[in-house]
Amino acid sequence: MTIIIIKLTIPHCAEQSMRTDTMQAVTFKRYGKNPALGIEPKPIPTLKPDELLVKVCAASLNPIDNMIISGTFKPVLHMTLPATLGSDLAGIVTAVGSGVTRFTPGDAVFASIFDTGQGALADFAVVPERLAALKPTNLSFVEAAALPMVSLTSWQALHEHARLQAGEKVFIPAGSGGIGSIAIQLAKTLGATVATTTSTENVDWVRQLGADQVIDYKKQSFDEVLRHYDLVLGTLRGDALEKSLAILRPGGKIISLVGPLDVAFARKRRLNRVLTALFWLMSRKIKRLARRQGIDYRFLFVQPDGEQLKHIAQLVEVGQLRPVIDRVLPFTQSAQGLAWLAQGRAKGKVVIDLETP
């Protein structure tokens, strides 16, 4: 399998001592169309016994960052405003809590700190020890920062929830996107047959990622082509989930990353009865249609996990998985990176290099 990756030339991320009690962070002050997004000084966080303080060398953006700013996840993700954005990071451990046993200052690590109340788009970030893993030795900090959320999402969907087996068939829409480009590679390591969709100009490129069948969505609809699939990884909104039912065999599965949210998710998050009822209503139609065809529908909300990142790092180090990066921007252009990501045209990940002024 041939993997395409943009070659990057970046300075080594040098460990720095903390000369002040403040750092620079990308923050937003309110939800909605006027979030007051900008770079602000914030206090350097203090550590709990099980936490690491990491000098962030690079951080990557995810579509959910824009959804958080808009308020889409306000009832679910509890953040104290002004809040620091970002989940994915790679950097150097500068200090450890009294209970930390697996890491020491100077270690190069990568992690997702999604859903912890912390943010990665800052000079320094607090990372719970259980969420961190040593950075793959063959990746730069920029490359490593591109992996955590998309690789964890793919791992949890394909390994944990679907238990995808060799010889099974999986449909992964939007193969040139951040999740699609990683999920395709991971599915191939499991021995699956992979179909995907992309635009005309990306068809050959996505094939080189490992996809066995590539559908140009500008020319054909996937539900007119594919049949008897075992799994659909739901990455597209609109009517794509309902169309997916037509391509699945009885007993197949849909694991949706974009919703609708369901009762199982509400109960796991211990949400109130009003939200639980709302999510039941939101997911009622797709669940009813899936049941009629003997198909299992689930919504997946990614969970940060350092042990899983350790396994992912091993795949990277033996050449079975590589990050795909659309563009690298300096810290001062974080807002432009979010705007580009919102257009839905990124080929892989958008990474913020905090070593570039």
Query: Each residue of 158-192: pLDDT tens digit?
Result: 999 999 999 999 999 999 888 999 999 999 999 99
Domain with CATH 3.40.50.720 in the chain: 149-299
Q: In what order do the strands lie in the sheet with 296-299?
A: 213-216, 193-198, 169-172, 229-234, 248-256, 296-299
Query: Each residue of 70-110: pLDDT tens digit?
Result: 988 888 888 889 999 999 999 999 999 999 999 999 999 99
In the chain, pLDDT over 70 holds for what percent of residues? 94
Sign of CA dihedral 126, 128, 134, 139: negative
Q: Just give the CATH number of 22-147+323-353.
A: 3.90.180.10
Query: Each residue of 236-285: pLDDT tens digit?
Result: 776 788 889 999 999 999 999 887 888 888 888 888 888 888 888 888 88
Distances (CA, A) of 133 to 103, 109, 311, 319: 9, 5, 9, 18
pTM above 0.85, yes or no: yes
CATH 3.40.50.720 fits 149-299, yes or no: yes
pLDDT-wise least confident of 46-60, 101-115, 196-210: 196-210
pLDDT category at 33 given cuts 50, 70, 90 is confident
First to last CA, the chain: 36
Domain with CATH 3.90.180.10 in the chain: 22-147+323-353
